[in-house]
Amino acid sequence: MLNMCKPIVATLLGLLAAAPAFAQANGPADARLAPSWAFMQQQMPGAPASLLEAACKEGTVMIYHGTWVDAQEAQIAAFQKRFPCVKVEKFSADTGQRQERWVSETRAGRRIADIIQDSDPGFLDKQASAGTLLNYKISNDSAFDDEVKKEGYWYALRAALVGIAWNTDLVSDDEAKLLSTWEGVTNPKWAGRAAVVDPSAGGVAYLPWYIWLNRFGPEFLQKMGALKPRIVAAIVPASAALASGDIAVIFNASETGLLPLYQKGAPIRWSLPEPGIGPMTGQAIAATAPHPNAAKLYQEYAFTEEGYGIWQKLGGAPAKRGFKDQRPVAQEPWYKIPKTFAPYDRADASEKVKAVTEAYHKYIGNAR
């Protein structure tokens, strides 16, 4: 009888020894991570339990993001509810400042940023080619078309739409009709009433200058310069000046700055003329991320249905295939997304920064 029990005991001992490995293959060993793991199984198909456990051990992730503060903070708050074991730190700056800090830290070998966001896809493409971005393919990769990602490197959080914005207390409905086309910004009616955002702010502030110059020629900038528009250094202060009535019109306004103010009741509206101008805002993981697993976990979350929806509701038009625009403004009868977008080569747009900036200073800056 004793001899018969030995095989049974051995089997039980073997099962007990294998239990940790079985738990690892099917879920985290720590029962406190069960809610996080359940969410991952639902919205991060293929992301392993080992990623969750490793991210929790690192415990921190640092995000370098832009001036879309409301959207970012909302997504961070939701992430930390799902994954309370990871603390999120953040650094916010406009595109030019953020790129400068990222490049200088990368060259110096300083490992600070885990995740980098940028509204200049050409910049992210360059960083991928230079080896400063981690090649990590998210589990929801197939939901993003080739035009809105560089597979395994960056994925688009939004299309950062650029339009012409006006203060409804200062611009009549009849005047606003002039702003339904890009050519409308050259109308003499806007002399002394308008502002432009300097292209050196980068990203969404730069792209319209590149497209205007290539599509309409230097004459377009010359006509705009003749109106002597006020020059504002960045998107957010330009939007604030519009909402306060300090200026009547912004020729290259970004929804990033407009939406939070509009939702708070500011007297502003905007048009998105054809062809649309809308660079992608991409998110990537640093190749030398000090918290690589926490960065991968956040990257996964940012592109789930939940994480993407929370960011998109405040951050801009969706770039994810088939994703319904959740912003309240999208339901307004006056709001219309362009049917066509101005095509442009991301690499060429990045290469032409100096030439475009020089044209801007010649026709706009010097006109002051």
Residue 262 lies in a domain: yes
Query: How many CA atoms are closer than 13 Å to the CA of 106, on its beta-carbon side?
Result: 20
> How many Cβ atoms sit within 10 Å of the Cβ of residue 279?
30
> Does residue 288 share a domain with residue 204?
no
> Does residue 200 share a domain with residue 148?
no
Tokens of 205: 């502030």
> Does residue 265 share a domain with residue 292?
no
Give how many domains the chain has, as a whole number.
2
> Does residue 251 share a domain with residue 149?
no
Residue 10 lies in a domain: no
* Distance in angstroms (rounded) separating the CA atoms of residues 135 and 156: 15
Residue 6 lies in a domain: no
Q: DSSP letter at 64?
A: E
> Does residue 181 share a domain with residue 255?
yes
> Does residue 166 share a domain with residue 292?
no
Residue 332 lies in a domain: no
> Does residue 154 share a domain with residue 66?
yes
Question: CA torsion sign, 174 to 175 to 176 to 180?
Answer: positive
Q: Three-class SS of residue 285?
A: strand
Residue 269 lies in a domain: yes
Tell me the residue range of the domain where 73 lies: 46-159+280-315
Residue 228 lies in a domain: yes
Residue 1 lies in a domain: no
Q: Which residues contact 77 (CB under 8 A, 6 or more apart)?
A: none
> Does residue 187 share a domain with residue 147?
no
* Distance in angstroms (rounded) separating the CA atoms of residues 212 and 292: 40
**Per-residue pLDDT tens listing for the chain (368 residues):** 445 455 544 544 444 444 444 444 579 999 999 999 999 999 999 899 999 999 999 999 999 998 889 899 999 999 999 999 999 999 999 888 999 999 999 999 999 999 999 988 889 999 999 999 999 999 999 999 998 999 999 999 998 899 999 999 999 999 999 999 999 999 999 999 999 999 998 888 999 999 999 999 999 999 999 999 999 999 999 999 999 999 999 999 999 889 889 989 999 999 999 999 988 899 999 999 999 999 999 999 999 999 999 999 888 899 999 999 989 999 999 999 998 889 888 889 989 999 999 999 999 987 55
> Does residue 176 share a domain with residue 297?
no
For residue 185, the domain's CATH number is 3.40.190.10
Residue 32 lies in a domain: no
> Does residue 355 share a domain with residue 248?
yes
> Does residue 114 share a domain with residue 51?
yes
> Does residue 193 share a domain with residue 148?
no
